[in-house]
Amino acid sequence: MDIKIVDVAAKAGVSPATVSRVLNNNSNVTANTKEKVMKVIEELGYQPNAAAKNLRSQRSMIIGVIVPEINNSYYAEIIKGIENKAYAQKYKVIICDTGNNKEKELDFISLLMNKTADSMILVTPLLSDEELCHIADMSYLIGVVGRHIDHHNIPCVYTDNVKFSKDVVSHLVQQGHRKIAFLSGYADAVDSYERLEGYLKALREHHIPFHPELIENGDFSEKGGYEAIKRLVEKQADFTAVYAANDEMALGVYKACAELDIRIPDQLAVVGVDNNRISRYIQPKLSTVSQPKIKMGRAIVEKLIEQLEHGEPSQERVLVLDSELMIRESSLAPVPGPSGSSPVTPGS
């Protein structure tokens, strides 16, 4: 079978305790014995059994990460940031893909809380604030990315949805638009709510009346965006610009516009959020909001590990990172048509 610590100890002529001390860089070992032990470890190719180590030390050096969709570039980038930082700190990362299923998310959480993972990162979880606080109250360490939670023991890293949404709408207004539609994500997602809030605040600041019929819900997917914009057009809503809650939905708008012969940005300006890689490659290039995804991943790991290893919450529990409005082609054009007419109605 595998070689274990007693084997090393025997061959090196020391006790298992000493081998353990050498492995864990415990200072109370003579340079001499240390060298001796290291040599035997090398010779035998000894690798400490992780399961035994975990049981004894009560930690697994594993961080769990729960995301809605692994294969969505937004989450994939955050995961990359998390994984790279974790590796640098000698932690491993377990990935869980919920497929936007709340049951699965809860299942993953209980699956990892049993000492499988020392801590968990929830990326824009489907759970309510209360549910998240409840986990933290069981003195299990969790971190949240993409959302603010009001709990003294939950580190959060996110960008300011309200702020960048106002920036998006202000940009559109500066381009001359006043009839701006908003395509929301899941109705119950925090991001949807806050982006809508930013949209409304910007309208208000620019003294633009709010028209509820210019808001449609989607689900953050291309299909959702496609259907939402179609609904808008079908009910003959009057708008010259669209703020889509993310790039996926903006992609759906592109698709619908292609079918309906609506030209972007001449007849309709479009802005998304996330700066998905695709947004730079489609025609016209999509204006969007760039979030520091990798940095967000790194930051949350940093906070979590600090807390795991020093026992106390890191100085700044909450980190709000800047996002950047990337103005590209899809929102740069003279505002179409005279006020009152609806340039996006097909055939007009």
DSSP state of 324: E
Count CB neighbours of 91 within 10 A.
Answer: 22
Residue 42 vs 234, nearer CB to its own copies = 42
Q: What tokens appear for 309 in the block?
A: 């290893």
Residue 28 binding result from DNA, its own copies, none, given CB thresholds of 5 to 8 Å by partner type: DNA
DSSP, collapsed to helix, strand or coil, labels residue 249 as: helix
Which residue from 142, 190, 202, 251 is in contact with its own copies, where contact means CB under 8 A? 251
Which residue from 2, 130, 234, 261 is in contact with DNA, where contact means CB under 7 A? 2
Which residue from 10, 11, 20, 340 is in contact with DNA, where contact means CB under 7 A? 20
Count each helix (H run) and each strand (E run) in the chain, helices first.
12, 12
- Biggest alpha carbon–alpha carbon distance for the chain: 91
Site for DNA in 27-86 (CB under 7 A): 28-30, 32-34, 48-49, 52-53, 55-58
Q: Quick check: 25 binds DNA (CB under 7 A)?
A: no
Which residue from 14, 37, 79, 121 is in contact with its own copies, where contact means CB under 8 A? 79
243-282 mask for DNA (x: CB under 7 A)?
----------------------------------------
CA 9 centroid distance within chain: 46
Residue 32 binding result from its own copies, DNA, none, given CB thresholds of 5 to 8 Å by partner type: DNA
DSSP state of 263: P
Where is 133: in which H helix or E strand? Answer: helix 129-137
Residue 74 vs 158, nearer CB to its own copies = 74
Q: What tokens appear for 241 in the block?
A: 């610009």
Residue 153 binding result from DNA, its own copies, none, given CB thresholds of 5 to 8 Å by partner type: none
Residue with tokens 């489907």: 126
How are beta strands 142-145 and 288-290 bridged, if at all? Answer: unpaired
Q: Quick check: 70 binds its own copies (CB under 8 A)?
A: yes
Q: Quick check: 139 binds DNA (CB under 7 A)?
A: no
Give the span between the Cα atoms of 339 and 210, in whole angstroms. Answer: 16
Q: Quick check: 84 binds its own copies (CB under 8 A)?
A: yes
DSSP, collapsed to helix, strand or coil, labels residue 165 as: helix
CA 327 centroid distance within chain: 22
Query: What residues line the site for its own copies (CB under 8 A)?
Result: 47-52, 54-55, 58, 60, 62, 69-71, 73, 76-77, 79-80, 83-84, 87, 92-97, 99, 104, 110-116, 251, 277-278, 281-283
